[in-house]
Chains A and B, each alone.
Chain A
């Protein structure tokens, strides 16, 4: 990695102090190097301290606490080894969380992302009011999860809610129901809200990707007699692949860590049918004061995210991220 970073000799820290006597190399170069590192360290220190204090240390502490029976008061002292983890994998709710996480990932990849892609392709064409549509579809992403949750809590209120009222008015009462309140429909409803909220974000990613597809290529394919589908399948899609890969990545990580939307709409209910790992962790940590067990959940969540992220980067994003975290070969030059 060649750095373009050149510290200013006159104002850098340590400027003017003579080089150490024992220095064998040309003094000017060594001094520049030292200055270089010093300045770099100086600039990184605040960020590093914040990152250590607010991210790394709490993470390490959670890992530590996961091996204790700990109620959250004082320091953990009742060491129980891996008991929290064995309990975790016998806990029906947690196993259900894993299953629901998988369901959400599959639904996201099978429905939400293709839908976003379709909308992006549509809105990439020249049409009247294109900017308005783009803005409208992106707007839900800007709303906070809590507001979205409360909004849809009202929309999907059984009978009195907007959804049931509208369905009733157009003679589709049969499609209405209890939405969030019925164990058999709650996940579908949560997914519906998730799609509403996030598809605009993925659509924007795809739109940006589509703009980067050179017109000449699609025109050339058109001249070669390729149909619309062939042009999309063989020209646009391959060129969009890097964007797709990133969008899948974000979508999966989002599903693993899903919390706010579920917490506000259902709090994991009814009867745990929409609970996610993060909700279970919150329940144990903040309602039951079983902080050790909650830490174990968060450690497993972190582990799943980490394994997925590394594997995905290693095998799927390899071409997009030459020389990033998982390979040691590339040096970026």
Chain B
């Protein structure tokens, strides 16, 4: 038996290494694959820090280990924002974990361009192609698959039916004008219409992005990025519509400093019935129930309303999903794990227990929640799709959108200035 001081030292060394040298650790893990002992350890970085996903995912990893006795899955979980920062540092160092969370789009493309990501096109051939096309979309770069989805979804308004009733709103609004009316009615009924996490900026970006899709059409955001020009009239108009909304003071008190998933954040504000709506993705119900009490049967979903006279329609969808990519040179076991994670059995479990939307067509029948069904129906009938801007665009441009829109909501930038700032950054970037 060891001397206690020694084992404590070992523990300290291990925690120091975990804190400082993830990179080094990952590198070691990668290089010593299939070592003499015969077991392979694969590292799996994900952002499922909230329940029930956290437990379900860990159980799935154990199940995979049971099916593959020679493989160990090491789970590293990080909160969304911390994960993004950490990945930036890791990307710069050139060493990524075996399996890591990705949203696809511009960030994944940068990692691919840096030669850090495994091309999965051939290695996932039969089963990968069978996944839902809309779910695979964000991970396809030049027709090559660099990620495997486990979730797909969209942004829309999650609302409190009881509060809508209290304010006398019979039907969820389908046009921007009727949406503004609903906001006014809620204000009159002394209900905070919207919750917003201003500190984190990305939730504010959803408003501008959707408005731009509605005024300029679904293809316009990608086109503007490719042309490096966001100064077109519809983009300025999108900002003006957002300004109209901000002018009604619809957000909760202190929204400029609010976080998203903390106990006083956006999700909790809606989940505790203190605000009537939030514009958020398909994960919203889970986080509302985790950070706050959750609304249960009172929770409803409606798509972002159409803007009168705009080129876009209410059936065009802004969203994205979640997926996993592999570092270049990841062992075959990591591919096996992706296959396991995208299998019908796993997907059924994920859909039933964690509220994600199915990526395996056969798992669709498992959706029980009426709201998730509504999201799924909306997605399947989508006539256009745009990935989250902070993922679709190169990071600098995505962040500039977030930053400029946050400034617009804080009242320090005009719609025109927002369009110009984004254009300026887009031009600098390439």
Q: Is B399 an interface residue (CB 8 A)?
A: yes
Interface string of B107-122 (1 = CB under 8 A from A): 0001001100000000
Establish whether residues A271 and B91, one from each chain, have CB atoms under 8 Å apart when the complex forms.
Answer: no
For B400, the chain A residues whose CB sits under 8 A away are 288
Chain B: residues with Cβ within 8 Å of the partner, total of 33
List B residues 132-161 near A (Cβ within 8 Å): none
* Stretch among A8-16, A114-122, A166-174, A180-188 lining the B interface: A180-188
For B395, the chain A residues whose CB sits under 8 A away are 287-289
For A180, the chain B residues whose CB sits under 8 A away are 254, 257
Other-chain residue from A73, A178, A267, A270 in contact with B110 (beta carbon distance below 8 A): A73
For B198, the chain A residues whose CB sits under 8 A away are 181, 269-270
Q: A181-B198, A269-B198 are in contact. Are A153 and B262 (CB under 8 A)?
A: yes
Q: Which B-chain residue is minimally distant from A288 (CB atoms)?
A: B396
Distance in Å: Cβ of A213 to nearest Cβ of chain B: 41
Establish whether residues A157 and B92, one from each chain, have CB atoms under 8 Å apart when the complex forms.
Answer: no
Interface string of B55-90 (1 = CB under 8 A from A): 000000000000000000000000000001100110
Q: A160-B264, A269-B199, A270-B256 are in contact. Are A71 and B410 (CB under 8 A)?
A: no
Q: Say whether chain A's binding surface is mostly helix, strand, loop, or mixed.
A: loop
Q: Is B209 an interface residue (CB 8 A)?
A: no
Establish whether residues B254 and A157, one from each chain, have CB atoms under 8 Å apart when the complex forms.
Answer: yes
Other-chain residue from B92, B399, B407 in contact with A73 (beta carbon distance below 8 A): B92
Q: Is B49 an interface residue (CB 8 A)?
A: no
List A residues 268-325 near B (Cβ within 8 Å): 269-272, 283, 285-291
Q: Is B412 an interface residue (CB 8 A)?
A: yes
Distance in Å: Cβ of A78 to nearest Cβ of chain B: 11
A272 and B200 CA atoms in complex are apart in Å by 12
Interface string of A246-280 (1 = CB under 8 A from B): 00000000000000000000110111100000000
A72 and B94 CA atoms in complex are apart in Å by 10
Establish whether residues A267 and B264, one from each chain, have CB atoms under 8 Å apart when the complex forms.
Answer: no
Establish whether residues B254 and A72, one from each chain, have CB atoms under 8 Å apart when the complex forms.
Answer: no
A289 and B84 CA atoms in complex are apart in Å by 11
Establish whether residues B256 and A72, one from each chain, have CB atoms under 8 Å apart when the complex forms.
Answer: no
Q: A271-B412, A287-B399 are in contact. Are A181 and B257 (CB under 8 A)?
A: yes
Q: Is B284 an interface residue (CB 8 A)?
A: no
For B200, the chain A residues whose CB sits under 8 A away are 267
Q: Is A7 an interface residue (CB 8 A)?
A: no
Q: Is B255 an interface residue (CB 8 A)?
A: yes
Establish whether residues A161 and B399, one from each chain, have CB atoms under 8 Å apart when the complex forms.
Answer: no
Q: Which A-chain residue is minimally distant from B265 (CB atoms)?
A: A157
For B406, the chain A residues whose CB sits under 8 A away are 269-271
Q: A73-B92, A288-B396, A289-B110 are in contact. Are A181 and B254 (CB under 8 A)?
A: yes
Establish whether residues A181 and B255, one from each chain, have CB atoms under 8 Å apart when the complex forms.
Answer: yes
List B residues 182-239 near A (Cβ within 8 Å): 198-201
A153 and B264 CA atoms in complex are apart in Å by 9
Other-chain residue from A73, A182, A183, A270 in contact with B91 (beta carbon distance below 8 A): A73
A271 and B402 CA atoms in complex are apart in Å by 11
Q: Which A-chain residue is minimally distant from B88 (CB atoms)?
A: A286
Distance in Å: Cβ of A114 to nearest Cβ of chain B: 29
Q: Which B-chain residue is minimally distant from A71 (CB atoms)?
A: B110
Q: Is A74 an interface residue (CB 8 A)?
A: yes
Distance in Å: Cβ of A152 to nearest Cβ of chain B: 11
Establish whether residues B399 and A182, one from each chain, have CB atoms under 8 Å apart when the complex forms.
Answer: no
Q: Is B253 an interface residue (CB 8 A)?
A: yes
A189 and B264 CA atoms in complex are apart in Å by 18
Distance in Å: Cβ of A251 to nearest Cβ of chain B: 26
Other-chain residue from A73, A74, A271, A291 in contact with B256 (beta carbon distance below 8 A): A271
Other-chain residue from A154, A158, A186, A267 in contact with B253 (beta carbon distance below 8 A): A158
Distance in Å: Cβ of A235 to nearest Cβ of chain B: 47
Establish whether residues A271 and B89, one from each chain, have CB atoms under 8 Å apart when the complex forms.
Answer: no
For A74, the chain B residues whose CB sits under 8 A away are 114
Q: A73-B92, A271-B256 are in contact. Are A289 and B396 (CB under 8 A)?
A: yes
Establish whether residues A154 and B91, one from each chain, have CB atoms under 8 Å apart when the complex forms.
Answer: no
A161 and B258 CA atoms in complex are apart in Å by 12
For A160, the chain B residues whose CB sits under 8 A away are 264
Other-chain residue from A161, A271, A287 in contact with B88 (beta carbon distance below 8 A): A287
Establish whether residues B410 and A159, one from each chain, have CB atoms under 8 Å apart when the complex forms.
Answer: no
A159 and B255 CA atoms in complex are apart in Å by 12
For B94, the chain A residues whose CB sits under 8 A away are 73
A186 and B400 CA atoms in complex are apart in Å by 22
Q: Is A206 an interface residue (CB 8 A)?
A: no
Q: A73-B110, A270-B410 are in contact. Are A286 and B399 (CB under 8 A)?
A: no
Interface centre among A180, A186, A285, A286 (most CB of B within 10 A): A286
Q: Which A-chain residue is minimally distant from B396 (CB atoms)?
A: A288
For A157, the chain B residues whose CB sits under 8 A away are 254, 264
For B399, the chain A residues whose CB sits under 8 A away are 283, 287-288
Q: A153-B262, A161-B264 are in contact. Are A72 and B257 (CB under 8 A)?
A: no
Distance in Å: Cβ of B189 to nearest Cβ of chain A: 19
A72 and B395 CA atoms in complex are apart in Å by 12
A267 and B113 CA atoms in complex are apart in Å by 30
Establish whether residues A286 and B254, one from each chain, have CB atoms under 8 Å apart when the complex forms.
Answer: no
Establish whether residues B199 and A266, one from each chain, have CB atoms under 8 Å apart when the complex forms.
Answer: yes
For B254, the chain A residues whose CB sits under 8 A away are 157-159, 178-182
List B residues 90-111 near A (Cβ within 8 Å): 91-92, 94, 110
Establish whether residues A289 and B88, one from each chain, have CB atoms under 8 Å apart when the complex forms.
Answer: yes
Interface centre among B89, B113, B264, B412 (most CB of A within 10 A): B264
Other-chain residue from A154, A272, A290 in contact with B264 (beta carbon distance below 8 A): A154
For B258, the chain A residues whose CB sits under 8 A away are 181
Q: Which B-chain residue is minimally distant from A267 (CB atoms)?
A: B199
A283 and B88 CA atoms in complex are apart in Å by 11
Distance in Å: Cβ of B98 to nearest Cβ of chain A: 20
Establish whether residues B92 and A291, one from each chain, have CB atoms under 8 Å apart when the complex forms.
Answer: yes
Interface string of B240-263 (1 = CB under 8 A from A): 000000000000011111110011
Distance in Å: Cβ of A57 to nearest Cβ of chain B: 15
List A residues 24-72 near B (Cβ within 8 Å): 71-72
Establish whether residues B88 and A72, one from each chain, have CB atoms under 8 Å apart when the complex forms.
Answer: yes
For A182, the chain B residues whose CB sits under 8 A away are 254, 256-257
A199 and B85 CA atoms in complex are apart in Å by 31
Q: Which B-chain residue is minimally distant from A93 (CB atoms)?
A: B403
Instruction: Write 11 A-B pairs (CB below 8 A) sorted by A numbering.
Output: A73-B91, A157-B264, A160-B264, A178-B253, A178-B257, A180-B257, A181-B258, A266-B257, A270-B410, A290-B396, A291-B92
Q: A182-B257, A287-B399 are in contact. List 19 more A-B contacts (CB 8 A).
A: A73-B94, A73-B113, A153-B264, A158-B254, A158-B257, A160-B264, A161-B264, A181-B256, A186-B257, A269-B406, A270-B256, A270-B406, A271-B256, A272-B407, A285-B88, A286-B89, A287-B85, A287-B88, A287-B395
Nearest 8 A/B pairs, CB to CB: A181-B257, A158-B254, A270-B256, A181-B254, A271-B410, A288-B396, A72-B92, A157-B264
